[in-house]
Chain A
Amino acid sequence: MKTQVFNAVCENGQVTVNGAPVPGAVVLSAGAAKSQGVAVFSGPNVFYIAVPMDTLDSLIDLVGQLADAVKNGVLASNGGGAITAPTFATGLEQVKQNLQTLKGAKQ
């Protein structure tokens, strides 16, 4: 029995390869809502596995924003003053919301 692997995308549980839907493909990973990954054809079976590179890129960006918020707020305060950045709390909240959004989109 042969096995071949193709680049694929998944949206709302529907796997497509080169734009063509693949009925019956089984989604083995998270990412059924929307993701990019690979479709593995093996005999009569087709499996989809998300490869979340875009998710990791977004996560890295959000961690960077978090570091900036801490640097501009908490670290300045420890240097001898109160937290003066007016957007410190809202900035952290925005980062938190973005992380939740990212998590939700990849369920």
Chain B
Amino acid sequence: MKIFCEHGFYSFEAESLDDKTLFELNTGLTLVGYGERLTFAPLAALPEVSVQGQPYGNLTAKVNFCGTPAEVMRANGFVFDISAQALADKTQMRQAQALYPQLNGGYIATEALPQAGGRYGQKVLLSFNGVSRFVNKQFILRGAEFENASI
């Protein structure tokens, strides 16, 4: 299963027919169709416009913005909290991220799907793309975007 996380907006691309089932069985998370990809149901329902002071998903928008839901989330400083299955303010995310750097510049996560907004050392994971390998229970991040933690 290919994984795309664009500033906390997760989407998935099945590489084989049983990828969706395997993902759901191994993670306990449910995916829904999103164009040609899959995503989590709350993300699939997000609009492409946020209005400052008005509801956006389960939060209140901080800014006006029109773009893809991932762009709207970035503009508002929101990420998707995987365990809560809801949007969360990026600054409120405190999970420590267990990522193992690889020689090729990538990272491997072995515990769970990496959480955008999670801490990796002094850095905050913002975006990544990679694949899941359920045979050895690995999430392989081929590319990742971090920012320095403010605290």
Could you tell me if B52 and A3 are in contact, using CB atoms closer than 8 angstroms? no
Could you tell me if A46 and B64 are in contact, using CB atoms closer than 8 angstroms? yes
A44 interface residue per 8 A CB criterion: yes
B54 interface residue per 8 A CB criterion: yes
Binds A, one of B19-27, B65-73, B83-91: B65-73
Chain A facing B: main interface SS: strand
Residues of B within 8 A of A41 (CB): 49, 64-66
Chain B facing A: main interface SS: loop
A43 interface residue per 8 A CB criterion: yes
The number of residues on chain B lying at the interface, defined by a beta carbon within 8 Å of a beta carbon of chain A, is: 14
Binary flags per residue of B35-68, CB closer than 8 Å to A gives 1, else 0: 0000000000000110111100000000111111
Could you tell me if A44 and B63 are in contact, using CB atoms closer than 8 angstroms? yes
Q: Which residue of B lies closest to A44 (CB)?
A: B65
Could you tell me if B67 and A2 are in contact, using CB atoms closer than 8 angstroms? yes
B113 interface residue per 8 A CB criterion: no
Binary flags per residue of A28-68, CB closer than 8 Å to B gives 1, else 0: 00000000000001111110000000000000000000000
Residues of B within 8 A of A4 (CB): 48-49, 66
CA separation between A46 and B64, bound complex, in Å? 7
Binary flags per residue of A11-32, CB closer than 8 Å to B gives 1, else 0: 0000001001111110000000
Question: Taking A4-B49, A44-B75 as contacts, is the C-beta distance between A22 and B64 under 8 angstroms?
Answer: yes
By a beta-carbon cutoff of 8 Å, the part of chain B in contact with chain A is 48-49, 51-54, 63-68, 71, 75
By a beta-carbon cutoff of 8 Å, the part of chain A in contact with chain B is 1-4, 17, 20-25, 41-46
Counting from the closest, the 5 A-B pairs by CB-CB distance are A41-B66, A23-B52, A46-B64, A2-B67, A2-B66
